[in-house]
Amino acid sequence: MFGKKEGKDWRNGVYLTTAMNSLEADILESKLRGEGIPVIKRYKGAGNAMEIIMGSSYSYPIELFVPEDTLEDAKNIIVAIPILSDEDFYEEEDSE
């Protein structure tokens, strides 16, 4: 999630991650801004134009950049947390 471009600078920010579509990018941006971390989105290809025309971009990835001093905090905020499947949920209920 963080690997390939880590530390790459762009517009006074360093690379955090790449979202696969505008919905994912908006969710990550909202979460980070809610924690007080500014985010800059960098659209690949025609992604920005597609978002303006179509309302969302599902064709091109979007890179997210944050200030360098907030990079570690941002990584900790957007770490994926496994969601229980229905089977796991019912197993936990049965064990209680």
pTM value > 0.75:
no
Question: What pLDDT band is residue 75 in, cutting at 50, 70 and 90?
Answer: very high
Contact 59, 85 (CB under 8 A): no
pLDDT attached to residue 1: 46
What CATH number belongs to 9-95? 3.30.70
The conformational region for residue 22 under phi > 0 = left, psi -120 to 50 = alpha, else beta, is alpha
pLDDT tens-digit readout, 20-71: 888 888 899 999 999 999 999 887 765 455 555 655 555 678 899 999 999 9
Q: What backbone phi and psi angles, to 5 degrees, belong to 53?
A: -75, -50
- 84, with CB counted inside 10 A (0-12, 13-18, 19+), is exposed
pLDDT attached to residue 80: 74
Q: Where are the domains of the chain?
A: 9-95
